[in-house]
Amino acid sequence: MKEAMFYEKKGENVKCGLCRHQCLIANGKRGICGIRQNTNGKLQTLVYGKTIAAHVDPIEKKPFFHFLPGTSSFSIATAGCNLRCQHCQNWEISQGAGKLEGIPGDGMPPEEVVRLAKQYDCKSISYTYTEPTVFFEYAYDTAQLAKREGLCNTFVTNGYMSKEALETIAPYLDAANVDIKGFTEKFYREVCGARLAPVLENVKRMKELGIWVEITTLVIPTLNDSKKGLKGIAQFIADVDPHIPWHVSAFHPDYKLVSLPSTPRKTIEKAVDIGYGAGLKYVYGGNIPGVGENTYCYKCKTPLITRYVFNVMENNVRDSKCPKCGAEIHGVGL
């Protein structure tokens, strides 16, 4: 156990300030995430240095298409999550930690994470698979060390962290891929166990803090695939910055939504068109090979980065510019 950040005592209870739930936790109990516990008035994280997953991934798998394309990222996670998404693709490791006496995971201190990232020639460390906010202390210490060693840091996140947590990690966080899971409070409340507004607020704040942002929406048939909902997300992104890449990914039945069908190809193609129609410069399909994987110049439509699944086949961007018309292609390390 390690003492957690962002909490205050409230009598025998503690109030956790890590995410937007602001859990009030009784002695001996845990917060919604299942991995932060009140032990006699001290809030402790139960997952510090306990990785439940560690892999070398293409950065495109996160997905990041405009951040160090073609490079590898050392990707880690611990158990736990602060949302309860019924469609969670990693539910085996994200959900249920609060019911376990002992939290699963293997010992991997920050120094070892950085050492392995460098050993495998990764250019970044990604805090991913589950929600990085809930293992904040572990990610924070690792990110600081990674920066000193010349590595970048990325969050793949639901965007539900508190303002204080976001501003604390910001100096060490180079990029974030944020899930905007739907565009109604009803969807967030009933399907995810959260609220939409804090996520939108954090996307705006990330841009203000200079973090490179990409957005992902998993398109679920009958739940968030309406034209109105997709257009709402696209317009929100465009209003923040039309150069933010939007990834619209196909849903596959999992966890508590196994009765729903997979997202049809035509729905993802429609979502891509909606994104461009809202004024976005970079829109990508996901989870359906061959749909919206490539980067084109938004001015002259020249193919710039050709991909297949998570592999970069060709990258023709030169000094962050289109080689044909000279338009600036937005991102990091293009």
pLDDT along the chain (334 residues), means of 10: 96 96 97 96 97 98 98 98 96 84 91 98 98 98 98 98 98 98 98 98 98 98 98 98 98 96 97 98 95 96 95 96 98 96
Q: Which pLDDT score is estimated for 97? A: 78
Q: Position 70: which residue type?
A: G
Residues 20 and 167 in one domain: no
Residues 174 and 91 in one domain: yes
3-state secondary structure of 201: helix
**Residue whose pair of structure tokens reads 């890449």 in the numeric block:** 245
Q: How many of the other CB atoms lie within 10 Å of CB of 109? A: 16
Q: Report yes or no: 94 and 130 within 8 Å, Cβ to Cβ.
A: yes
Residues 149 and 201 in one domain: yes
Take residue 253 and report the two structure tokens written for it.
Answer: 């039945």
Residues 309 and 273 in one domain: no
Residues 69 and 152 in one domain: yes
Tell me the whole-structure pTM to 2 decimals: 0.97
Residues 187 and 55 in one domain: yes
- Report whether the peptide linkage leading into residue 110 is cis, meaning its omega lies within 30 degrees of zero: no
Closest CA to 38 of 17, 18, 20, 13: 13
Residues 205 and 84 in one domain: yes
Q: Any residues with CB less than 8 A from the CB of 64 and at least 6 apart, and which?
A: 154, 175, 177, 214
Closest CA to 149 of 125, 177, 180: 125
Residues 250 and 318 in one domain: no
**C-alpha span between 155 and 152 (Å, rounded):** 11
**C-alpha span between 161 and 92 (Å, rounded):** 22
Q: DSSP characters for 207-260? A: HHTT-EEEEEEEE-TTTT--HHHHHHHHHHHHHH-TTS-EEEEE----TT-TTS
Residues 175 and 89 in one domain: yes
What DSSP state is assigned to residue 2? E
Q: DSSP characters for 101-143? A: SS---EE--HHHHHHHHHHTT-SEEEE-SS-GGGGHHHHHHHH
**C-alpha span between 132 and 127 (Å, rounded):** 5
* Residue 73: CATH number of its domain: 3.20.20.70
Residues 157 and 287 in one domain: yes
Domain extent, residue 270, equals 50-299
Residues 110 and 204 in one domain: yes
The total of structural domains in the chain comes to 3
Closest CA to 135 of 40, 28, 2: 2
Residues 205 and 163 in one domain: yes
Q: Which pLDDT score is estimated for 57? A: 98
